[in-house]
């Protein structure tokens, strides 16, 4: 037989649950503490990692484009065509912003460098805004204490204390 004492559904940063299992000649109490704020921070950390990884992939793609243009890679080769086509999606908004310098087959594509800087700033801004949207400041702390008289008379008490912030 098991007595389950659920927590309230109030939004708190820390939730504690106590499960008491009683059988003839056996009683066990299990207390589980769930740190909701830590779970939220872990989710935010994972989201930041994903965003920075996407930015890293984008920056590598743009650096490869810049280097291929700078060394005068053959634009008809399969790899160069693939890289220019894929990275062209991200440099398109910056096309024609500044002049591109040519020296034979060598191209100094400054718009790619500008795109890299702008995308880095955008991603940095998104990562800085996420905590503002996700974090919830603690306004109040609630302490709840429960005392139970267990069989056996005076002195056999069980005290449960729950501290939560919302």
Does the residue 12 lie in any domain? no
In the chain, what's the furthest Cα-to-Cα distance?
A: 97
- Domain presence at residue 159: no
Q: Mean of the per-residue pLDDT values for the chain?
A: 80
Q: What whole-number distance in Å separates Cα of residue 24 and Cα of residue 34?
A: 30
Q: Check residue 10 and give its pLDDT.
A: 44
Secondary structure of the chain as H, E, C letters: CEEEECCCCCCCCEEEEEEEEEECCEEEEEEEEEEHHHHHHHHHHHHHHHHHHHHHHHHHHHHHHHHHHHCCCCCCCHHHHHHHHHHHHHHHHHCCCCCCEEECCEEECHHHHHHHHHHHHHHHHHHHHHHHHHCCCCCCEEEEEEEEECCCCCCCEEEEEEEEEC
Q: Taking the complete model, does pTM exceed 0.85, yes or no?
A: no
Rounded Cα gap, residues 159 and 131, in angstroms: 37
**Percentage with pLDDT > 70 across the chain:** 69
Contacts of 49 by beta carbon, 8 Å cutoff, 6+ apart: none
What span, in angstroms and rounded, lies between the C-alpha atoms of 6 and 34?
A: 12
Of 71, 64, 78, which Cα lies nearest the Cα of 112? 64
Query: Mean per-residue pLDDT for 32-49?
Result: 84
In tens, the pLDDT along 88-106 reads 999 999 999 998 888 888 8
Domain membership flag for residue 29: no
More confident residue, 40 or 83: 83
Is residue 64 one of the residues assigned to a domain? yes
- Tell whether 52 is covered by a domain: yes
Count of structural domains within the chain: 1
Domain of 63 in residue numbering reads as 39-134
Contacts of 31 (CB under 8 A, 6+ apart): 16, 17, 18, 19
Using the Cα atoms of residue 68, residue 69, residue 70 and residue 72 in order, give the sign of their dihedral. Answer: positive
């Amino acid at each position: 037989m098991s007595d389950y004492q659920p927590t309230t559904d109030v939004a708190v940063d820390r939730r504690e649950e106590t499960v008491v299992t009683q059988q003839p000649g056996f009683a066990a109490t299990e207390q589980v503490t769930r740190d909701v704020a830590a779970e939220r921070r872990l989710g935010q950390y994972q989201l930041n990692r994903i965003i920075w990884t996407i930015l890293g992939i984008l920056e590598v793609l743009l650096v490869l484009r810049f280097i291929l243009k700078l060394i005068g890679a053959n634009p008809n080769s399969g790899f160069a065509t693939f890289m220019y086509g894929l990275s062209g999606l991200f440099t398109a908004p910056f096309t024609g912003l500044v002049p591109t310098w040519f020296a034979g087959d060598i191209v100094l594509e400054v718009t790619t460098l500008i795109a890299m800087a702008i995308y880095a700033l955008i991603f940095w801004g998104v990562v800085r805004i996420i905590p503002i949207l996700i974090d919830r400041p603690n306004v109040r702390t609630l302490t709840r204490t429960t005392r139970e008289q267990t069989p056996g008379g005076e002195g056999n008490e069980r005290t449960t204390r729950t501290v939560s912030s919302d």
